[in-house]
Amino acid sequence: MLRRHFLGASTAIATSLIGARARAFGDEGAFEPKVLLAGGVTGAARASAPARWSAEVERRTSAAARRSPRAVKASEPTLLDGPFAYWSGTGALAALSSAELAGLRQFLGLGGLLVVDDADPASGAFGRDARRELARVLPDAAPVAIPEDHVLYRTFYLLKPARPSGRVQGAKTADAILRAGSLRVIFLAHDLGGALARNQLGTWEMTVEPGGDEQREQAIRFAVNIALYALTTNYKDDAVHAPFIMKRRATQP
């Protein structure tokens, strides 16, 4: 993609998001990294990461974001309040209940995007169990590698190299479950939250290895791209509790 085309596309996305906020989002903001409580998870593995994610989206783009993201249970209707959810952890997961399975199935079926962030990639227990449980949610959809040319890597920032980043370098690719050509679940083994987390004094909570500040910046840009992807893909208007309608991107991968 030529740089001028990339910048033009980014401007168009930002403009559309401003308009969407004025029409529907009100004071609550557009992007909300809701923390998914399911499988025994009681909060985000990196507690400050969701709020920092919202802050970076607002600071770097024209999109609004909710500065105090909620924690929502998979079995509750509030999961459907928006098109994005964040499921992170460091250990084994319990089997999802029938209500949790149904809630996640509805969320993903309506076009929601779920990011699964393994905060302890060295162990891999959380990511492994999340795949097991999501296979129960979507038994007809197997994860596939996200290719380097996927729009996720150029939704706002043109990432070079086109790869996921986080507190640890991790694999060069991430897997995803797709439906109707769009990402529905992204599996990360990079501890993205660990790269975002800051304490109340504004100090980074965790060291990023092996790439330090440069790797952290790539991780933040990757997080912003995920947010913009979630905001510009479709989220069906028949979600009873959804306060807005997501428009499908003009071009799908």
pLDDT at residue number 100: 98
How many angstroms separate the Cα of 223 from the Cα of each of 19, 164, 233? Answer: 22, 9, 16
Q: Is-contact 115 87, C-beta < 8 A?
A: yes
pLDDT at residue 3 greater than cutoff 70: no
CA distance 193 to 184: 19
Burial class (CB in 10 A: 0-12, 13-18, 19+), 6: middle
Whether 16 is in a domain gets the answer yes
For 143-174, what is each residue's pLDDT tens digit?
999 999 999 999 999 999 999 999 999 999 99
Q: What is the pLDDT of residue 232?
A: 86
- Whole-model pTM: value is 0.83
Question: In the structure, what pLDDT confidence band is assigned to residue 192 with cuts at 50, 70 and 90?
Answer: very high
Cα distance between residue 167 and residue 164, in whole Å: 11
27-54 pLDDT, tens digit each? 344 899 999 999 999 999 999 999 999 9
Q: Which residue has the higher pLDDT, 62 or 96?
A: 96
What pLDDT, on the 0 to 100 scale, is given for residue 23? 32
Lowest mean pLDDT among 87-101, 114-128, 227-241: 227-241
Please give the average per-residue pLDDT across 97-106, as a whole number.
98
Please tell me the predicted confidence (pLDDT) of residue 13: 41
Instruction: Please give the tally of structural domains in the chain.
Output: 1
- Checking if the pLDDT of 242 tops 80, the result is no
What mean pLDDT is reported for the chain?
A: 85
Can you give the residue range of the structural domain that contains 111? 3-232
pLDDT in tens, 9-31: 443 444 343 333 333 333 344 89
**CATH label of the domain that carries residue 151:** 3.40.50.12140
**DSSP for the chain, written as a single string:** --HHHHHHHHHHHHHHHHHHIIIIIGGG-SB--EEEE-TT--S-SSTTHHHHHHHHHHHHSS--B-SSPPEEETTSGGGGGSSEEEEEESS--PPPPHHHHHHHHHHHHTT-EEEEEES-TTT-HHHHHHHHHHHHHSTT---EEPPTTSGGGTSSS--SS-S--SSB---S--EEEEETTEEEEEEE-S-HHHHH-B-TTS-BSS--BTTHHHHHHHHHHHHHHHHHHHHHS-B-TT-TT-SS-BPPPSS--
* Position 227 in a domain: yes
In a domain, 11, yes or no: yes
Comparing C-alpha atoms, which of 69, 85, 59, 36 is closest to residue 217? 59
Residue 199 lies in a domain: yes
Whether 10 maps to a domain, the answer reads yes
Cα–Cα distance measured from residue 251 to residue 253, given in angstroms and rounded to the nearest whole number? 7
Q: Is residue 237 part of a domain?
A: no
- The answer as to whether 34 is a domain residue is yes
Query: Is 185 within a domain?
Result: yes
Backbone φ and ψ for 117, nearest 5 degrees, come out as -115, 105
Dig out the tokens for 55 from the structure: 């802050």
